[in-house]
A = this chain, B = another copy of it.
Amino acid sequence: MSTDPLVVFTPSGKRGRFPKGTPVLTVARQLGVDLDSVCGGRGICSKCQITPGYGEFSKHGVTVHADALSEWNSVEARYDEKRGLKPGRRLGCQAQVMGDVVIDVPAESQVHKQVVRKAASARVIEMDPATRLYFVKVDEPDMHTPTGDLERLERALQKEWGIDEISADLTLLSKLQPVLRKGKFEVTVALHKSHTDNTARVIEIWPGLHEAGIYGLAIDLGSTTIAAHLTDLVSGEVMASSGIMNPQIRFGEDLMSRVSYAMMNPGGDVEMTKAVREAIDTLAAEIAVEAGIDAKLILETVFVCNPVMHHLLLGIDPVELGQAPFALATSDSISMPARDLDLAAINTRARTYVLPCIAGHVGADAAAVALSEEPGKSEDLALIVDVGTNAEILLGDKSRVLACSSPTGPAFEGAQISSGQRAAPGAIEAIRIDAETKEPRFRVIGCDKWSDEVGFWEETAATGITGICGSGIIEAVAELRMAGLMDDSGLIGSAAQTGTDRMVAEGRTHAYLIHDATAEGGPRITVTQGDIRAIQLAKSALYAGARLLMDERGVDKVDRVVLAGAFGAHISAKHAMVLGMIPDVPLDKVTSAGNAAGTGARIALCNVGARAEIERTVRAITKVETAIEPRFQEHFVAANAIPHKTDPFPELSKVAPLPTPSFNTGGRGEGEAGGGRKRRRRA
């Protein structure tokens, strides 16, 4: 026994003695080392590649000789010839232990490999998808012990992979026999394991070893845009991200107008459901083309969305969500066939997982933010805000998490603003007003220069200056306050009061002129008193929601603020605080989580354990309903003022940029996939 060779794995450090001649894959399995294999050790899938180390390993107390592993064999040679093995690599199922050895498992050979999310959050996604590939050799039929092909497939999966019980729908059964025979009873199956019970569904079956990969779609279904991330279910890699407009916009710009549409028009909900499902189906087909894969290899979809979109996606009339007590038809997560959502482009047996909703106004998108940002694991008290037409707000730390939503309205998205527009080239997205001269300088989407920099006007000539978007109007209002052009009640001064002819009369109130291109047939861009009132209402609602959670929690300050969604990726933290949108915290305690909802969807797609986790988390969250809470109204009124009359961070010579959004490629928002500025929705 003691003379058996010692095998040490890195990076896990797991070790043990095994008889000479034991394949490395077998050793790894017995030690519980995470070494992948699809073909079960037949030397055909090449997933179990390892790198033996030779020489002195004093750390491990091992000296590895050149003959520590069996010699390079014909299976490895054939594979190397056909596909190429990296230098130093061996196939774990072929190489046998012959002496003490240190074996490194490279990241790509690990099943539970970690996909590092870029920047911001340190959290990584550990790959543990619900749907995985298994290569098996199925016993051929035998008249003496007549069992069905499905039952023999089940037995093979049981024997080789320890799968308890499988199920298959009729569409799979109808292809089972020809595929088994085409593969000479060697097949690859994609199994979807439930996270709630021990069953596994056969989603797809291919003859022989399937090498074209399997994919999933993480879909962030927003009121305005639908974004999808096509993800490799083995590597976790995002193959393509794409977004399209939510076609329901023609039934109503915001959620409540869509609920009204459903109320006023019999069958209106069915119409909207059809429209959004068709759009998702189109998006799925397009993203597969973009990534150059067969859409039928998409075997899973995960959805995050607000409650109204949730119901309209599922074919449930959202009418109850439009009136107290805002009852959801169902709040739990949903696992179901994707074809129940009429998704025809992807695999007909693909599964769909919809994250749970937190409450009638706090949806699966907020649950996804909680999954991504993990307030329940935070040491300090974090306020997480996902701003849109409704703001979803989470407040919590390890001890407790609270959630609410607040009806901010569409002003933050540039709607209901006199010169407002969507984020698109030509829109003013940032502005500074000189406290002395009261003169503005600004930046527009599509150009990196400020308007007082050389080359700005040349570079923007093509698009012109077309309007002001969400992030621009917030900065404008905050700058007006800091430049002394507006009082703390939000009232703008006249030209006489302020001493600048940027102040122009507008009926009985005044407006601040940012840019006048009427001479060239362009627009005249101003910030009016009405614009300021709209922003005040929106920011008061947001602040009041946060305050209400803080009251519930019994605190009057938070340790840090996370701005999630498109908005969070683009607004200036300083201006948000000047405006009183968010509670004051040190500027470096405000971070942007980028598209946290989309990230949450990706996590649930790549890690089946995360589904159980978010379901537990959501159950534990304390839900606070703003609509019935008298204090919300009090906070709302109290928050109307614009508190800071000077820059609260004078030590910073210029506005500190927010940390860049975390992983998502564009990081630009709810329901959006980084398609570039022209698609940017809110900021």
Residues of A bordering B, CB below 8 Å: 140-151, 168-171, 173-174, 176-178, 197, 314-317, 319-320, 324-332, 336, 340, 357-360, 623, 625, 627-628
The reply to whether B150 and A329 form a contact with Cβ atoms under 8 Å apart is yes
The reply to whether A148 and B325 form a contact with Cβ atoms under 8 Å apart is no
Q: How many copies does the complex hold?
A: 2
The reply to whether A143 and B314 form a contact with Cβ atoms under 8 Å apart is no
Q: Which residues of B contact A197 (CB under 8 A)?
A: 197
The reply to whether A625 and B146 form a contact with Cβ atoms under 8 Å apart is yes
The reply to whether B330 and A625 form a contact with Cβ atoms under 8 Å apart is no
How far apart are A482's CB and chain B's nearest CB, in angstroms?
A: 39
> Among the listed B170, B329, B358, B627, which residue makes an inter-chain contact with A315, where contact means beta carbons less than 8 Å apart?
B170
Provided the pairs A177-B317, A177-B320, A197-B197 are in contact, do residues A331 and B147 lie with their beta carbons within 8 angstroms? Answer: yes
Q: Which residues of B contact A178 (CB under 8 A)?
A: 317
Q: Which residues of B contact A146 (CB under 8 A)?
A: 325-328, 331, 358-360, 623, 625
The reply to whether B314 and A173 form a contact with Cβ atoms under 8 Å apart is yes
The reply to whether A169 and B328 form a contact with Cβ atoms under 8 Å apart is no
The reply to whether B324 and A174 form a contact with Cβ atoms under 8 Å apart is no
Q: List 18 A-B contacts (CB under 8 A).
A: A140-B325, A141-B327, A143-B359, A143-B360, A144-B628, A145-B623, A146-B327, A146-B331, A148-B327, A148-B332, A169-B336, A169-B340, A170-B314, A174-B315, A174-B316, A176-B329, A177-B316, A197-B197
How far apart are A343's CB and chain B's nearest CB, in angstroms?
A: 13
The reply to whether A170 and B325 form a contact with Cβ atoms under 8 Å apart is no
Cα A174 to Cα B330 with chains together (Å): 10
The reply to whether A327 and B360 form a contact with Cβ atoms under 8 Å apart is no
Cα A340 to Cα B316 with chains together (Å): 22
Cα A326 to Cα B216 with chains together (Å): 37
The reply to whether A329 and B359 form a contact with Cβ atoms under 8 Å apart is no
Interface centre among A147, A320, A628 (most CB of B within 10 A): A147
Extra contacts, 14 of them, besides A146-B625, A174-B316 (Cβ < 8 A), are A143-B326, A143-B625, A146-B325, A146-B326, A146-B327, A146-B360, A147-B331, A148-B328, A148-B331, A149-B329, A150-B329, A173-B330, A176-B329, A197-B197
How far apart are A622's CB and chain B's nearest CB, in angstroms?
A: 10
Interface centre among A329, A332, A357, A360 (most CB of B within 10 A): A329
The reply to whether B327 and A150 form a contact with Cβ atoms under 8 Å apart is no
Q: Which residues of B contact A628 (CB under 8 A)?
A: 143-144
> Among the listed B141, B151, B315, which residue makes an inter-chain contact with A325, where contact means beta carbons less than 8 Å apart?
B141
> Among the listed B173, B325, B331, B357, which residue makes an inter-chain contact with A143, where contact means beta carbons less than 8 Å apart?
B325
The reply to whether B142 and A325 form a contact with Cβ atoms under 8 Å apart is yes
Cα A168 to Cα B142 with chains together (Å): 40
How far apart are A308's CB and chain B's nearest CB, in angstroms?
A: 14
- A320's nearest neighbour on chain B, judged by CB, is B177
- A147's nearest neighbour on chain B, judged by CB, is B331
How far apart are A157's CB and chain B's nearest CB, in angstroms?
A: 14
How far apart are A342's CB and chain B's nearest CB, in angstroms?
A: 10
Q: Which residues of B contact A329 (CB under 8 A)?
A: 148-150, 173-174, 176-177
Cα A627 to Cα B143 with chains together (Å): 9
Provided the pairs A315-B170, A315-B174 are in contact, do residues A330 and B360 lie with their beta carbons within 8 angstroms? Answer: no
Q: Which residues of B contact A336 (CB under 8 A)?
A: 169-170
Q: Which residues of B contact A625 (CB under 8 A)?
A: 143-144, 146
